[in-house]
Amino acid sequence: MPEINKKDPLHGVTLKMMITQLEEKYGWEELGRLIKIKCFTHDPSLASSLKFLRRTPWARKKIETLYLETAKTNDIWSEAQRRRKE
């Protein structure tokens, strides 16, 4: 039986927060290299990325995975928590 008290590491982290932090860390060009989707490679913007990723579950999953991997190796957890409090 799964642990009931186990917390979701993405709880409270919005898609906008994830994209913003990943773009600040990697830039659009590197994001497009890491995750090959047009919203990062062709005229990228936060608005177009959010629109596409909200409608495309497989692409959103890739963003979530990259965000979690980046968070493990970098200190973006504290940044995400700070932004949630604002």
Spatial distance between the Cα atoms of 40 and 32, rounded to a whole number of angstroms: 5
Say how many domains are in the chain. Answer: 1
Query: CATH no. for residue 80?
Result: 1.10.720.30
Instruction: Tell whether 1 is covered by a domain.
Output: no
Instruction: Tell whether 25 is covered by a domain.
Output: yes
Instruction: Tell whether 6 is covered by a domain.
Output: no
> Per residue in 30-65, pLDDT tens?
999 999 999 999 999 999 999 999 999 999 999 999
pTM: 0.75
Instruction: Tell whether 8 is covered by a domain.
Output: no
| Surface-to-core class of residue 82, CB atoms within 10 Å of its CB (0-12 exposed, 13-18 middle, 19+ buried) | exposed
Instruction: Tell whether 5 is covered by a domain.
Output: no
For residue 27, what are the domain limits? Answer: 15-85
